[in-house]
Amino acid sequence: MPELIPEPRYARFAREGDGDDGADVCVLDDPLLDAGPGTGGTARWLRRELGAATGWELPAPAAERTYGGGGRAVIRLVLRPELARSVGAESYELHVTRRWVLLEGADPAGLFYAAQTLRQLLGPEAYRRAPAAPGREWRLPVGGVQDGPRFGWRGMMLDVARHFMPKDGVLRYVDLLAAHKLNVLHLHLTDDQGWRVEIKRYPRLTEVGGWRPRSRWGHRASPLWNETPHGGFYTQDDIREIVAYAAERHVRVVPEIDVPGHSQAAIAAYPELGNTDVVDTGALEVWDDWGVNENVLAPTEAVLRFYEGVFEELLELFPAEVSPFVHVGGDECPKEQWRASALAQERIRELGVDGEDGLQSWFIRHFDGWLAERGRRLIGWDEILEGGLAPGAAVSSWRGYAGGIAAAEAGHDVVMCPEQQVYLDHRQAGGADEPMPIGYVRSLEDVYRFEPVPPKLSAQAASHVLGAQANVWTEVMENQSRVDYQVFPRLAAFAEVVWSRLPDPDERDYAGFEARMGGHYRRLDALGVDYRPPGGPLPWQRRPGVLGRPIEGEPPNV
């Protein structure tokens, strides 16, 4: 059986040598590509990606569209909407005979995933950018696949605020998500440590907020510093390119702009956004440390107008048909400055809200309504539940399952991303060689056992679980190689959970998954992914002498 990841619902292939006269394989020697109506996107992807790896030109067949004409096999692409009724949205079928390969999708996304499965079947060499062995024979086992996803939201959150990832790196991660049949990239674009998206009416957000003078080296308990200034941002054209590139691969990009906490970079750029009656905000720089920062937005109408301007430009960059959701953060907002601020206390009285917690809710509810008026849906971390939400808002449940359960039972859609299960910045093993180890130990098997739908949910509430995402916070991931190490291979396990796994974690065949990973590591090698090897970090992947947390004898700092 081919080593497919994520594992399909149904797959059956002949073993090479089982048939008579080679009836068990399809030999693809510069095949033809017959692209039916509406399949142009997948056809372009196949010509570009498989063409680069194999040297195939994949020309269209003659007008009669015969299979195997002139001795050449044919790959045919077909949209078959009725599959959506029987298998579901984003589903597909793949059929291989001796002379042709048929890819059928319920919709364009399903057809694209059929092409991803075809690439896996061709072997790791199909993931290279040029033929590694010119003239090699490409063979597929005869058989078929019927497949479709369990969840509609299969995502990864990438924090580009703490450590900036250049545009090319983001595009690379879009391809890596697509290769694993994941379909959401949540970009954490702003935080205390950096503002990463160009807003033309507020240029200082990137001119000032996009750069910090230095960075803590390791966890915030570490005494070490990297004294090199760090920064960067995406121009609006960069964002348009990322969004369009992702859409071609059926990945939705969800932007996150944090309010009212995690805002020191914005306040450093525009000091009037902060609580000026209790803090000399003009002296603030972009934060160089990690953790929860006390500098939060002032609860004023002027601050609301400022961020409405930010969101107006953001909505133009992320069209509704591509990204209906906008993430507003809403988490970890300390209240000390509001308690000390006469302006904030007067605001509490004017609004009639329940203290400082009511002010945070007021921020979120304002943008909930503002986005809804423009046809968008607000999503935020589970703290946004405090104070109530409009019916269309959704929740990212990170503090365990509790917030997701409460939101789903109240009728809100939920994306499950509990820290204890799917925070990929957390250590992968308990050994001392793990680089800058933080948080819980969450092994490859632990991620494979993750279940997005809590058993306590009623059936009606469970229908509000849109899916799940793995979160990648980059405080201790200073470059692409470190991100790769933390993300892979665990993202492959996560992809199988949200695409194909049984609801009961105890029924999942981890040994079978681990065996299939043997072939998948070779695909990751071909893609140049600097993953954590099964035997532990390689010498250059370690960070000796750099503190993580918890240190020995301490509980996780959560």
Give me the active site residues, please: 191, 262, 332
Q: Are the C-beta atoms of residues 41 and 119 closer than 8 Å to each other?
A: no
What's the rounded Cα separation, in Å, for the pair 49 and 455? Answer: 41
Q: Are the C-beta atoms of residues 247 and 321 closer than 8 Å to each other?
A: no
- Look at residues 420, 382, 381, 384 and name the one whose alpha carbon lies nearest to residue 159: 381
Q: Are the C-beta atoms of residues 117 and 7 closer than 8 Å to each other?
A: no
**Cα dihedral sign for 11, 12, 17, 20?**
negative
Side chain identity at 396, as an amino acid letter?
S
**Tokens, residue 125:** 């060499």
Side chain identity at 176, as an amino acid letter?
L
Cα dist. 540→53, 106, 114, 255, 530 in Å?
29, 45, 37, 33, 11
What's the rounded Cα separation, in Å, for the pair 448 and 495? Answer: 9
What's the rounded Cα separation, in Å, for the pair 309 and 144? Answer: 51
- Tokens 């579901």, residue located: 88
The residues near 86 (Cβ < 8 Å, ≥ 6 apart) are none
Q: What value does the CA radius of gyration of the chain take, rounded to a whole number of Å?
A: 25
What's the rounded Cα separation, in Å, for the pair 319 and 376? Answer: 10
